């Protein structure tokens, strides 16, 4: 053996060997109990980032259950990631001096498709480099024709059951990306903006958004506010920068009497709360901001100005007319921004497809409350319940090209929509007219990925769905509990009548070394392969679970990575001592051998007893998703109890204790294998064993030596 462990000569060799031997196939244990994890599909448009290294957790579970003799399936996938991918591609186009508006739909789709295909292979290579034992024969992609067919079928079923409807209401619209987003995809920042106190006839009201005043259709006060009761029902004449208008004063309980002067202008086309007030009072919607973020022709001389510029220009004009009483320049409020490009979201009226979520959410709540689905760590249960109990209907239309186009057809003659399972319509099913046009929108990516567990297993190998659904575990980041996990439960139950998985296991976020969230815009994204080249994949994997309670955030720590690299060197040195420097007259145990401890010394009995306790503790920790506890116990036992104490104390009995050294070390390698697969395989194969055997046949809990 070399004096120093070199991962470069080990990792690629063993991954190829595992795949060749069918190690990643559930069929390796044909009679085993089914155990399945569906990989949260990474975006197919680029490289993995360091957060994806947390797939280590799933690999630990899969290797552990595979070693226990179960038919373990870890199903890989890739996500077309509609908005994200088109966003990345449009940045690419901008560098070429082009934009999406320079191409028709078919051409743009083809260009994005080719762009993605160039990148898809990178992800697989990177995951193999990290040792992830995925069953690549079952790889699925969200744009596979058979997956798309399942998505279409679900949409049609929802439509036929009255759970999908189309309506015109305010959406969260990003004027830069040119699409709407669901409520979950809007993030909020506290910002300071001027709060203008403006004169509306005899009244004064406070607003930040001067640019929307051209769309006002009422003035509202709280019905119990004594200051303004005499105005309720009156029509006020209001002076504007370009003339005069009239607005009625209405009473609505949604008005906060403590905000500003207790009076608000109502702009149903540009504010979610105003939209609700408008619905209750049958107010018209007057859209004054277009989908490019500019004021439209209803704004007179301000038409064509972008919102931010328009606000300041209108403020100057109103000041000149004496229509502003005062300005609070220190007003702090929450502003919704696009989670991708950070553009301020505009609430805009748009006709979209919605899923009615109430009945779906009730069933998703019930299965967790009844412990049919369990959430780990358990503190996330409360968050899950709170979201589902307050869920709003889900907007699934996106105004982008890249993705699954919605299979809905509008008839220009009878003005009705027809939904299909993907087939093209030539004539309207309502009136037989041929003036049909398909909806140009695509599905929200989360809608297709919410069907991922059953869609994949229904389209892989025959019998997979029947054998592996419901799956065993959904392990993913806690930040997509609502985006994805809850929605998978809702649609999984709706389509199949069964839960999609039994356990939800949520990990924290891996932050940069300064404790900041990694993002491409900040330039602090770390490529896991670069770290693996430096420290080894095993060191990364162990560092991610060691020393941080599962479910908590952690920072990328080079000192911890260095410590885990030292741990791999420690394992290597233990192996060299036991294997290379074994006495010539020593007896050896093969991989099934168990040393007899009846006549051994107290030190021998102690190390074997402690090993037995370690096996039990590690097994229990993995079963309960306490990976940090398992890693901590293994580290302490191997380095301190086995290496520092037992090996040192037994050197003068070397020939006698060789079987115990080999047994304890082999068992330690087996326990470590799910965490550090490469070095453990390399060392295990150097110990005495049957020819061409592989170490994953048994988990050591079944081989605890008896006194």
Mean pLDDT to the nearest integer, 291-302: 96
Mean pLDDT to the nearest integer, 317-343: 93
Is the pTM for the entire model greater than 0.85?
Answer: yes
The per-residue pLDDT for 695 is: 61
From CA 700, how far away is CA 572, in angstroms rounded?
21
Residue 182, CA distances (Å) to 106, 187, 397, 444 in order: 26, 11, 9, 9
Please provide the average confidence, as pLDDT, over all residues in the chain. 93
Strand partners, 349: 170
Mean pLDDT to the nearest integer, 523-543: 91
**β-pairing verdict for 346-355 and 203-207:** unpaired
From CA 410, how far away is CA 389, in angstroms rounded?
34
Residue 513: pLDDT band (50, 70, 90) is confident
The per-residue pLDDT for 119 is: 81
Residue 703: pLDDT band (50, 70, 90) is low
Residue 388 has pLDDT above 70, yes or no: yes
The CATH number of the structural domain formed by 179-346 is: 3.90.740.10
The per-residue pLDDT for 45 is: 80
Residue 411 has pLDDT above 70, yes or no: yes
223: number of Cβ within 10 Å: 13
Peptide bond between residue 470 and the one before it cis (omega within 30 degrees of 0): yes
For residue 323, give every residue at least 6 positions away whose Cβ sits within 8 Å of its Cβ, in sequence order, or none. 198, 199, 239, 240, 241
Mean pLDDT to the nearest integer, 448-476: 97
Strand partners, 350: 169
Mean pLDDT to the nearest integer, 407-416: 96
For residue 72, give every residue at least 6 positions away whose Cβ sits within 8 Å of its Cβ, in sequence order, or none. 26, 29, 32, 35, 36, 62, 63, 65, 66
**β-pairing verdict for 397-398 and 218-221:** unpaired
Residue 88: pLDDT band (50, 70, 90) is confident
From CA 667, how far away is CA 607, in angstroms rounded?
12
> Which of 12-26, 357-371, 610-624 bottoms out in mean pLDDT, i.e. has the lowest?
12-26
From CA 2, how far away is CA 5, in angstroms rounded?
7
Mean pLDDT to the nearest integer, 300-326: 96
The per-residue pLDDT for 341 is: 84
What is the DSSP code (8-state) at residue 294?
B
> Which of 155-164, 222-231, 334-343, 440-449 bottoms out in mean pLDDT, i.e. has the lowest?
334-343
The per-residue pLDDT for 197 is: 98
Mean pLDDT to the nearest integer, 98-119: 92
pLDDT in tens, 219-271: 999 999 999 999 999 999 999 888 899 999 999 999 999 999 999 999 999 99
- Evaluate whether 503 touches 472 at the Cβ level (below 8 Å): yes
3-state secondary structure string, 619-638? HHHHHCCCHHHHHHHHHHHH
Burial label for 332, CB within 10 Å (0-12, 13-18, 19+), is exposed
Backbone angles phi, psi at 416, to 5 degrees: -115, 155
540-703: which CATH architecture?
Answer: Orthogonal Bundle (1.10)
Residue 687 has pLDDT above 60, yes or no: yes
255: number of Cβ within 10 Å: 22
pLDDT in tens, 626-671: 999 999 999 999 999 999 999 999 999 988 899 999 999 999 999 9
- Evaluate whether 297 touches 309 at the Cβ level (below 8 Å): no
Mean pLDDT to the nearest integer, 538-556: 93
Burial label for 173, CB within 10 Å (0-12, 13-18, 19+), is buried
- Closest CA relative to residue 212, chosen from 122, 286, 107, 149: 286
**β-pairing verdict for 186-200 and 203-207:** antiparallel
The per-residue pLDDT for 16 is: 92
Mean pLDDT to the nearest integer, 106-115: 95
Write out the two tokens for 361: 């959410």
Residue 692 has pLDDT above 70, yes or no: no
**β-pairing verdict for 164-174 and 346-355:** antiparallel
- Evaluate whether 235 touches 202 at the Cβ level (below 8 Å): no
Count the residues in the chain.
Answer: 707
The per-residue pLDDT for 381 is: 96
Collapsed DSSP state (helix, strand, coil) of residue 445: helix
3-state secondary structure string, 215-281? HCCEEEECCCCHHHHHHCCCEEEEEECCEEEEEEEEECCCCCCCCCCCEEEECCCCCHHHHHHHHHH
For residue 238, give every residue at least 6 positions away whose Cβ sits within 8 Å of its Cβ, in sequence order, or none. 200, 201, 244, 245, 246, 247
Mean pLDDT to the nearest integer, 50-77: 95
Mean pLDDT to the nearest integer, 200-224: 96
User: What angle separates helix 558-575 from helix 677-686, to the nearest 10 degrees?
Assistant: 10
H/E segment holding residue 501: strand 501-507
The per-residue pLDDT for 702 is: 54
């Amino acid at each position: 053996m070399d004096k120093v462990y070199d991962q470069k000569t080990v990792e690629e060799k063993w991954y190829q060997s595992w795949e060749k031997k069918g190690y990643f196939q559930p069929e390796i244990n044909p009679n085993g109990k089914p155990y399945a994890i569906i990989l949260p599909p990474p975006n197919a448009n680029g490289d993995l980032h360091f957060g994806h290294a947390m797939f280590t957790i799933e690999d630990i579970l899969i290797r552990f259950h595979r070693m226990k003799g179960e038919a373990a399936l870890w199903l890989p996938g890739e996500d077309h990631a509609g908005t994200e991918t088109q966003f990345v591609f449009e940045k690419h186009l901008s560098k070429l001096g082009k934009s999406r508006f320079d191409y028709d739909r078919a051409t743009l789709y083809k260009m994005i498709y080719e762009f993605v295909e160039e990148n898809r292979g990178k992800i697989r290579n990177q995951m193999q480099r990290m040792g992830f034992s995925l069953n690549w024969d079952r790889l699925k992609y969200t744009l596979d024709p058979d997956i798309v067919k399942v998505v279409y079928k679900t949409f049609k079923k929802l439509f036929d059951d009255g759970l999908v409807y189309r309506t015109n209401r305010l959406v969260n619209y990003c004027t830069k990306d040119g699409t709407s987003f669901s409520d979950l995809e809007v993030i909020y920042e506290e910002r300071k903006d001027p709060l203008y106190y403006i004169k509306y006839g005899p009244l004064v009201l406070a607003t930040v958004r001067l640019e929307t005043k051209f769309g006002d259709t009422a003035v509202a006060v709280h019905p119990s506010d004594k200051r303004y009761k005499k105005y309720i029902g009156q029509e006020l004449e209001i002076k504007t920068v370009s003339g005069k208008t009239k607005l009625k004063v209405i009473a609505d309980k949604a008005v906060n009497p403590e905000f500003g002067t207790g009076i608000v202008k109502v702009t149903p086309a540009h504010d979610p709360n105003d939209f609700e007030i408008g619905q209750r009072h049958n107010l018209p919607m007057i859209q004054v901001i277009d989908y490019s973020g500019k004021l439209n022709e209803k704004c007179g001389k301000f038409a064509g100005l972008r919102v931010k510029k328009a606000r300041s220009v209108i403020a100057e004009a109103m000041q000149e007319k004496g229509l502003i009483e005062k300005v609070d320049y220190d007003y702090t409020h929450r502003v919704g921004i696009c989670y991708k490009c950070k553009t301020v979201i505009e609430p805009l009226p748009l006709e979209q497809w919605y899923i009615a979520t109430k009945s779906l959410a009730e069933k998703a709540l019930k299965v967790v409350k009844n412990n049919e689905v369990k959430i780990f760590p358990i503190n996330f249960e409360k968050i899950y319940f709170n979201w589902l109990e307050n869920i709003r209907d889900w907007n699934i239309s996106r105004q982008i090209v890249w993705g699954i186009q919605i299979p809905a057809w509008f008839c220009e003659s009878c003005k009705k929509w027809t939904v299909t399972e993907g087939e093209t319509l030539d004539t309207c099913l309502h009136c037989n007219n041929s003036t049909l046009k398909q909806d140009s929108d695509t599905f929200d990516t989360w809608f297709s990925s919410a069907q991922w567990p059953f869609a994949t297993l229904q389209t892989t190998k025959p019998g997979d769905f029947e054998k592996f659904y419901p799956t065993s575990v959904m392990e993913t980041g806690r930040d997509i509990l609502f985006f994805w996990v809850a929605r998978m439960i809702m649609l999984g139950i709706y389509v199949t009548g069964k839960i999609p998985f039994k356990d939800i296991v949520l990990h924290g976020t891996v932050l940069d070394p300064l404790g900041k969230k990694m993002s491409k815009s900040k330039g602090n994204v770390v490529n896991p392969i670069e770290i693996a080249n430096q420290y080894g994949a095993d060191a990364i994997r162990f560092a991610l679970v060691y020393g941080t309670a599962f479910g908590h955030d952690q920072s990328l720590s080079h000192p911890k990575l260095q410590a885990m690299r030292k741990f791999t060197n420690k394992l290597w040195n233990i192996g060299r001592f036991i294997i290379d420097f074994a006495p010539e007259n020593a007896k050896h145990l093969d991989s099934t051998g168990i040393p007899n401890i009846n006549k051994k010394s107290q030190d021998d009995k102690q190390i074997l007893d402690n090993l037995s306790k370690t096996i039990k503790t590690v097994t229990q920790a993995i079963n309960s998703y306490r990976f940090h506890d398992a890693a901590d116990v293994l580290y302490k036992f191997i380095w301190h109890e086995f290496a520092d104490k037992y090996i040192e104390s037994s050197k003068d009995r070397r020939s006698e204790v060789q079987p115990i050294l080999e047994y304890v070390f082999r068992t330690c390698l087996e326990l470590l294998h799910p965490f550090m697969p490469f070095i453990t395989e390399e060392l295990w194969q150097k110990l005495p064993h049957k020819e061409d055997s592989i170490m994953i046949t048994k988990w050591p809990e079944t081989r605890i030596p008896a006194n």
